[in-house]
Structure formats: structure tokens, C-alpha cells
Amino acid sequence: MPELPDLQVFSTNLTRVLKGKKLKTINIRNAKKLKTPARTLKRALEGRVLGEVVRDGKELHFLFKDGTVLGLHLMLRGKLSWFKERNDQKFTIAEMIFDKADSLAISDYQGQAALTLNPEVKDGIDALSKQANFRLLKNKLSKSKAAVKNVLLDQKFIRGIGNAYADEILWEAGISPFSSSNKIPDEKIKALDKSIKAVLTKAEKTIRKNHPDIITGEVRDFLAVHNSKRETTPRGERILVDESGSRRTYYTAEQTLFQ
């Protein structure tokens, strides 16, 4: 699943191509995940001029100049592809055909990518927001016995962090992902606060540099710990993998476990 740094780059690249362009047609090919009838969606969007595309948590929001918003969550396997006259993507969810610009196909072989017209404002604080700070983390962690990684993945708390970057953030902060949240001392919460911003912004810069035109997929080959192609971190620590539960957790024995 694309996470915050990937989506930051996607939004910039989509805006660069589509800003100021009129959406002539949106064709819904798979309406399974639509919360709004396809006919209503078409009426609301067709003929509107796109202002920009922004990231909102783990979603992309297409902001049209009249105030209409189309939200897109790519879920696990959704992808975006440019096309001109013909869309060759299998498992297409929707096609967005713009005037005087390449058209955009949204596809997902699992059929889970979701489009939402005028999505509701979510409760969680964005991970790159100034509000995502030591005070917020301290308040949340001190009241929870849950593993700290699970807290970071809670989108109702902090939005935008997924499985891979939770591991990177905790490794950078020197905190075991299995630590009890309410046992983590203030000095380590401060380290966690710094790590969130540092890891996410550095990753965005790396993706933008190495894949300047990317609008789909997930770039993970540069990650220090959550990386199946590495056996050790850049500091020489052996990478351990925990496969209990529904997700893999990458970590090292050097990360402090607070219990």
C-alpha cells in the first residue's frame, strides 16, 4: 500500500499534469466500492476544472475549483496510470478523461480502491501536521497499554503512517515496536516525535529524486529496516522479522523494549 511519502509525490505529479484541466468524462467501470451512485458522481464532476491534487492521510483528494472534492483511497493494490486514446489497464475501477491532458486510469485487481465524493473530514491528526507533536504523543501514549506500533498505525490518532514507515520511525527513534505505549519515557517520546517528521520527509525527498514522475506503486528499496532485501541496517544491526498477526514487523534487537 502506498504510504504518506509515496502519496505526497503522487499528488505533486498529478497536480503538475492536471491543474487547470477540465474533467470531460469520468467512466465508472467497477462501482462496488462507490458510496455515491455513479450517475450522481458523474453529474457532480464532469465539466469541472481541477485545482490541485493533495494528500489527505492515506488518501488522494482531487480538489476541483468549484469546491467539489473526489477522494481516492488506493487500498492495498490500487494503482494509477496515464493513458491517451486507449486505456489498456485490466481491472479498471474508473477512468478520468481530461481536456487537453493525458487521461487517468484507476485500477485494482482486488477491486478495493475506493472513490468518495466530498469525503468527510477525518478525526486523526496528519503525521506531518504541527499538531502531531510531543504533547499529542505523550497524551495518547500515556493512556494506552497497546504496543506502540499499533498506536502509530491508528488512523483515528495519526493519519498517514502505515506498516513500513511505522517500522522505520521506531527504528530511528530506538524504540521496540512491541513496547507498551504507557511505559515509554518522555525522552524517547521526544525522539519519536522527531523521528516521525525526519523519516517521512527524508523518504519523500528520496522518492522524488529517484522517481520524479511516479504516480503509482510503493518505493521501499531505500528503507533501512523494513526492507526484505536487507539483512542488516546501515548501522550493521541484524534485521529481525516478526510475522505474528496480520502484518510483518521489521526491527532490531538494539531497539529498547519498554514493558
Query: pLDDT tens for residues 18-29?
Result: 999 999 999 999
Domains of the chain, first to last: 4-117 (3.20.190.10), 125-251 (1.10.8.50)
pTM: 0.94
Residue 246 has pLDDT above 90, yes or no: no
Phi, psi of 128 (to 5 degrees): -95, 5
pLDDT in tens, 149-192: 999 999 999 999 999 999 999 999 999 999 999 999 999 999 99
CB 199 within 8 A of CB 127: no
Spatial distance between the Cα atoms of 50 and 23, rounded to a whole number of angstroms: 7
From CA 44, how far away is CA 68, in angstroms rounded? 7
Residue 130 dihedral angles phi and psi, to the nearest 5°: -65, -20
Computed over every residue of the chain, the mean pLDDT equals 96
Whether 169 contacts 192, CB under 8 Å: yes
Q: Per-residue confidence at 70, pLDDT binned at 50, 70, 90?
A: very high
Q: How far is CA 242 from CA 43, 97, 113, 162, 223, in A?
A: 48, 44, 28, 16, 17
Quick one: average pLDDT of 6-29?
A: 97
pLDDT over 90, % of the chain: 95
Split at pLDDT 50, 70, 90, the class of 244 is confident
Q: Which residue has the cell 494509477?
A: 80
Tell me which residue has cell 492521510: 57
